Amino acid sequence: MFSFTQQRALASSGAMRCLQARVLMNFCSQCGEKVRFAIPESDDRPRYLCDACGTIHYQNPRIVAGTLPVSGSQVLLCKRAIAPRKGYWTLPAGYMENAESTSQAAARETWEEACAEVALANLYTLIDLPHINQVYMIFKADLVGGFAAGPESEEVALFEEDEIPWDSLAFPTIEHTLRHFYADRHKGLYPLHTGVITPEDRERYFGSA
């Protein structure tokens, strides 16, 4: 499908990774005809193209928004009731929806997964996962009132620092966020931390990237 020159350009620009990461598409969502995957004119990376109606189907990363809910000296974690990483502990987080803000998405996910109301503080971690087209945005938050397992959680509980189940965390983004929190807590300052999760980081959790 690609010429040698195109393949070399793709590999060198890093865009070859798009080939693995893209959502597979067979038909045009506008006109229903078959699509092909190629580099459009005056573009530098492959897209799904419809020759019948001319639509170029762009695909872009998704935001996973969530919170680090704090209650006194404890933080709230959720045990996942669904794949991936069922049975492992996570912070409440999930895909941001259309028509909401990042902070609304974080609060909504906390409500859905932990039945917990939170007062959001600042954006605390912003973590890129380029190989799976995700951007994590975790807000520091104060837990307001109670909590309970939502439909996607087996269990929701508060943890002291020495109780954190480090070996049973669901995702590297969660470990990074918690490690930053306990390092920052001594100083009482919680600035934004940014980072990138590599396929190797992820492999430690999933067995494969």
Binding site for its own copies (CB under 8 A): 14-15, 17-18, 21-22, 24-32, 34-35, 42, 45, 57-63, 95-104, 122-123, 126, 128, 130-131, 133, 135, 151, 192, 194, 196
Cα 160 to the center of its chain, rounded Å: 25
Cα 166 to the center of its chain, rounded Å: 19
Nearer to its own copies, 56 or 73 (CB): 56
Question: Minimum distance between the CB of residue 167 and its own copies, rounded to whole angstroms?
Answer: 28
CA distance 168 to 87: 8
Nearer to its own copies, 74 or 195 (CB): 195
Phi, psi torsion values for 199, nearest 5 degrees? -55, -35
Question: Minimum distance between the CB of residue 101 and its own copies, rounded to whole angstroms?
Answer: 4
**Burial category of 133 from C-beta neighbours within 10 Å (exposed 0-12, middle 13-18, buried 19 and up):** middle
Nearer to its own copies, 127 or 143 (CB): 127
Nearer to its own copies, 114 or 164 (CB): 114
Question: Minimum distance between the CB of residue 27 and its own copies, rounded to whole angstroms?
Answer: 4
Nearer to its own copies, 77 or 153 (CB): 153
CA distance 74 to 68: 10
Question: Minimum distance between the CB of residue 21 and its own copies, rounded to whole angstroms?
Answer: 5
Task: Indicate the pairing of strand 153-159 with strand 89-90.
Answer: unpaired
Question: Minimum distance between the CB of residue 129 and its own copies, rounded to whole angstroms?
Answer: 9
Q: Tell me the longest C-alpha to C-alpha distance in the chain.
A: 61
